[in-house]
Structure 1
Amino acid sequence: MDAPHAAAQLAPPPSATGCEDCLASGSWWLHLRRCITCGHIGCCEVSPHHHAAQHFELTGHRFVQSFEPQESWWWDYVEEREVDGGQLPEPTSHPDAQSVPGPSARVPANWESFIFDE
């Protein structure tokens, strides 16, 4: 098993300030997650497309950290639980001024009807 603290020391920078897959497809997200292994930024399981979880399923990269301001928790997709992973190199979140959900120009007025309850 990969140790979360060892992964944190080797974590590459984030790949984007928003979900890479949503940006590429013209979609939108609710919250963001950062892959500890490769830096991929994906959207959360409550977002319409669940790109962070899909990234895990495609790559096996098991650890993500929240990419939201003032959040530092980690998630282990293999054990399906929160883990203590340590501090990642900056930046540890999307820019404070970035909208949530985002990007603002793509978020439908009825966005709440598209998300799942946590």
Structure 2
Amino acid sequence: MKTFISTILFALVLTTGLFAQQTITNEKHQRILTKVDANIYDVQFLDKEGNVVQKGQYWRDGESLKPHGTWTLFALNSNKVTTRSTFDKGEQLSVETIIDGMLVSVDKQQLVAKKQ
């Protein structure tokens, strides 16, 4: 009887843990690059339906592209801005994002402190 109850409890704990896990997928988005200047490119990332999910600019540094200017991330299936970040030739200067309905801003000094 004790073995039977232990088996049932083990099965309940195991299945509860399985139901609690979330599946997160990293979707590939179509990227559209448009040359603006000698070293600057506008970029838009589109979802499967053709909606813009993220937009920003790249700075061309040799063979690599670095984030530059203001980058904007939109909520799923909406034009609502959820995160805005500012870059200067690959260096992140600031981030503004909405968490639980409140705007949270972080500047360059706070980002540097967080990385250390």
What TM-score do the two structures reach when normalised by structure 1?
A: 0.25
Q: Which has the higher contact order (CA 8 A, sep 6+)?
A: 1
Asked which structure has the greater CA Rg, the reply is 2
Greater per-residue strand proportion: 2
What TM-score do the two structures reach when normalised by structure 2?
A: 0.25
